[in-house]
Chains A and B, each alone.
Chain A
Amino acid sequence: MDLTELYQDLILDHGKKPRNFGKCNKFNHDAEGHNPLCGDNIHVYLSLDTDKKVKDISFEGSGCAISVASSSIMTEIVKGKTEKQARELLNAFFKMIKEGQEIKKAGLSEDEHIKFSSLAGVGRFPMRVKCATLSWHTLKAALDDEKKPINSEIID
């Protein structure tokens, strides 16, 4: 795989100008994630409404282009989805990165599907998988109300 495929424009753009960065208003779930070997860290905030819908989601933290882009893309895709859909998406993300499984378009717009799939190439760089999955693990921890910071080094 060519490096320009890994570092495609979409990823570079989200890596440089992350969307939904900072603390979102009235968040009622949050979690921290760390990748101690890299020094990457992330804090995911989300506001779930009474219908269990992700009203708002954001993140703070620092990391490489892959990790920041993955976090930024995640927040864009998950915003407006139900908690159930968010959980399905994160499982689909892990399957895509770790098993190379393509995600079904169901429930995602064309634009969301392109963004989601743009990270698929990371699976071919085993040392970088944990960079892409950190934010998604942290999202899961936020949904589960996990109080202890998660460590993607141990999970992946």
Chain B
Amino acid sequence: MNLKDIKSQFPIFKSNKNLIYFDTANSAQKPIQVIDALEDFYKNHYANIGRAVYGLAARATADFESTRETIKEFVNGTEGEIIFTKNSTESLNLVAHCFGKLLKEGDEIILTEAEHHSNYVPWHFLRKKKVNIKFIPINEDGEVEVNKLTSLITNKTKIISVIHISNVTGLTTDLKKIISIAKAKKIPVCIDGTQAVAHSHVDLKDLDCDFYAFSSHKIYGPTGVGILYMKNKWIEQFEPFNGGGGMIQNVDTKNITYASGVSKFEAGSLASAEVIALKQAVKFVKDIKVKNIISHEQSLASYALEKISKFNDVEFVGRPSNKGSVFSFNIKGVHAHDASTVFDEDNIAVRAGHHCCQILHKKMKIGSSLRMSFGVYNNKQDIDAICESIKKCKKIFKLK
């Protein structure tokens, strides 16, 4: 499929004519179908879901639930195991909080040094219970050294929680290997798939992990919606995360029984319009086909790496991958924030900073970096433009 004309489906590029957007790993721009779906729901079909019996509410509920079905099919999940949260961060907090209740002093959790803060900070809270956290190291290429996992596992290891694709280096973790090692020891595995969905094939039945978290806004959907796939055994075993309406079965002044299934974890009114519009985002991605997105982003990454490598003062963060949609670099002698300001003058949106991955940056002995990430709307001209901007940056900072 030709992605050449896809940009015209994104109104942001009409209102910002010269915008070059390289920050999809932060948040993706929205196609018109998603924006229209939000407007249509609010204008023509709005009612809260799951509460009332009148027709409007019933139809809204059905529409909402059909998004759950769409998501389930998209990631090849299982019926009754898709929970809506407010973002990936909340999905991971839910797992860490609820799983944490089952832990005791001395128990161990294994993460990696490549984690986004959202898959570290929630687990860090458990240190209050004297739970220990171990890290699978990353090497200087930025790769998670999965061969070191076995030596970290003890009989106190209770869970392994790892990033699927790094939001800094774009490298993919060898999940199959991690899950097979974990399975042999009967250790559950949680995956932060935030950068993977809509950029690579995600098949949850094939992966067979216990938890998988991702966000709507990074897959061309609205903000305010996260997704958590959780195996039914944990849905049954976990205590609720939040309390309130929608997650109960029966309430009296002495006792409360909780709803069963995913409802147990969906307290209060949800972002129903956003969930309903998310269905259009998934449809958009499915219509393009993930395999076409992968080849589009890989060809962009290869082209960008080839061109940017030609600058003798560019240093990449780890080994940049031409297989993904993200990589990061620095221009020697120019701080990432200064470079980003120069790019911004040319309407190029690039994120500068530590990208919520301080452990990874410290390991690489850098404070910050410039991150380029691709979406369906990027093209080779965008990359030519940033190369011109890098030249300009070198001129301003008087680099040779």
- Chain A residues near B (Cβ < 8 Å): 3-4, 6-7, 12, 16, 37-40, 62-66, 125, 127-128, 131
Can you name 29 A-B pairs with beta carbons within 8 Å? A3-B342, A3-B396, A4-B396, A6-B341, A7-B338, A7-B397, A12-B397, A12-B398, A16-B333, A37-B353, A38-B337, A38-B352, A38-B368, A39-B353, A39-B354, A39-B358, A39-B368, A40-B367, A62-B367, A63-B335, A64-B336, A65-B334, A65-B338, A65-B397, A66-B337, A125-B341, A127-B341, A128-B341, A131-B337
* Contact, CB under 8 Å: B338 / A64: yes
Q: Decide yes or no whether B345 CB sits under 8 A from chain A.
A: yes
Taking CB atoms, residues of chain A closer than 8 Å to B352 are 38
Number of interface residues of B (CB under 8 A): 19
B26-82 with Cβ < 8 A to chain A: none
5 closest A-B pairs by CB: A64-B335, A64-B337, A39-B367, A39-B354, A65-B338
Q: Decide yes or no whether B361 CB sits under 8 A from chain A.
A: yes
* Contact, CB under 8 Å: B361 / A39: yes
B301 to chain A, nearest CB (A): 25
* Chain B residue at minimum C-beta to C-beta distance from A9: B398
B118 to chain A, nearest CB (A): 15
* Chain A residue at minimum C-beta to C-beta distance from B352: A38
Taking CB atoms, residues of chain A closer than 8 Å to B361 are 39
A16 to chain B, nearest CB (A): 8
Taking CB atoms, residues of chain A closer than 8 Å to B334 are 65
How many residue pairs link A and B with beta carbons under 8 A? The number is: 43
Q: Tell me the complex Cα distance, A65–B335, Å.
A: 7
- Chain B residues near A (Cβ < 8 Å): 333-338, 341-342, 345, 352-354, 358, 361, 367-368, 396-398
Taking CB atoms, residues of chain A closer than 8 Å to B353 are 37-39
* Contact, CB under 8 Å: A66 / B338: yes
Q: Tell me the complex Cα distance, A16–B397, Å.
A: 10
Of the listed residues B335, B361, B368, B396, the one surrounded by the most CB atoms of chain A closer than 10 A to its CB is: B335
Of the listed residues B336, B338, B345, B398, the one surrounded by the most CB atoms of chain A closer than 10 A to its CB is: B338
Q: Tell me the complex Cα distance, A6–B340, Å.
A: 14
* Chain A residue at minimum C-beta to C-beta distance from B369: A39
Taking CB atoms, residues of chain B closer than 8 Å to A3 are 341-342, 345, 396
Taking CB atoms, residues of chain B closer than 8 Å to A7 are 338, 396-397
B115 to chain A, nearest CB (A): 17
Q: Tell me the complex Cα distance, A127–B337, Å.
A: 10
B106 to chain A, nearest CB (A): 32
Q: Tell me the complex Cα distance, A38–B398, Å.
A: 23
With A38-B352, A40-B367 given, name 7 new contacts (CB 8 A).
A7-B338, A12-B398, A38-B337, A63-B367, A64-B338, A127-B341, A131-B337
Q: Tell me the complex Cα distance, A62–B338, Å.
A: 13
Q: Tell me the complex Cα distance, A154–B383, Å.
A: 35
Q: Tell me the complex Cα distance, A39–B335, Å.
A: 11
Taking CB atoms, residues of chain A closer than 8 Å to B354 are 39
B399 to chain A, nearest CB (A): 11
Taking CB atoms, residues of chain B closer than 8 Å to A125 are 341
Q: Tell me the complex Cα distance, A12–B353, Å.
A: 20
Taking CB atoms, residues of chain A closer than 8 Å to B398 are 12
Taking CB atoms, residues of chain A closer than 8 Å to B333 are 16
Of the listed residues A37, A39, A63, the one surrounded by the most CB atoms of chain B closer than 10 A to its CB is: A39
A1 to chain B, nearest CB (A): 10
* Chain B residue at minimum C-beta to C-beta distance from A2: B345
Taking CB atoms, residues of chain B closer than 8 Å to A131 are 337
Q: Tell me the complex Cα distance, A39–B354, Å.
A: 7
Of the listed residues A63, A64, A66, the one surrounded by the most CB atoms of chain B closer than 10 A to its CB is: A64
Q: Tell me the complex Cα distance, A76–B361, Å.
A: 32
Taking CB atoms, residues of chain B closer than 8 Å to A63 are 335, 337, 367
* Chain B residue at minimum C-beta to C-beta distance from A127: B341
B358 to chain A, nearest CB (A): 7
B393 to chain A, nearest CB (A): 9
Q: Tell me the complex Cα distance, A64–B361, Å.
A: 16
Q: Tell me the complex Cα distance, A40–B336, Å.
A: 11
Taking CB atoms, residues of chain B closer than 8 Å to A127 are 341
Of the listed residues B341, B354, B397, the one surrounded by the most CB atoms of chain A closer than 10 A to its CB is: B341
Taking CB atoms, residues of chain A closer than 8 Å to B341 are 3, 6, 125, 127-128
A2 to chain B, nearest CB (A): 9
A72 to chain B, nearest CB (A): 14
* Chain B residue at minimum C-beta to C-beta distance from A4: B396
A13 to chain B, nearest CB (A): 10
A117 to chain B, nearest CB (A): 20
Taking CB atoms, residues of chain A closer than 8 Å to B335 are 63-65
Taking CB atoms, residues of chain B closer than 8 Å to A4 are 396
Q: Tell me the complex Cα distance, A123–B337, Å.
A: 16
Q: Tell me the complex Cα distance, A19–B135, Å.
A: 39
Q: Tell me the complex Cα distance, A22–B283, Å.
A: 57
Q: Tell me the complex Cα distance, A18–B358, Å.
A: 25
Q: Tell me the complex Cα distance, A39–B398, Å.
A: 24
Taking CB atoms, residues of chain B closer than 8 Å to A66 are 337-338
Q: Tell me the complex Cα distance, A127–B349, Å.
A: 13
B89 to chain A, nearest CB (A): 16
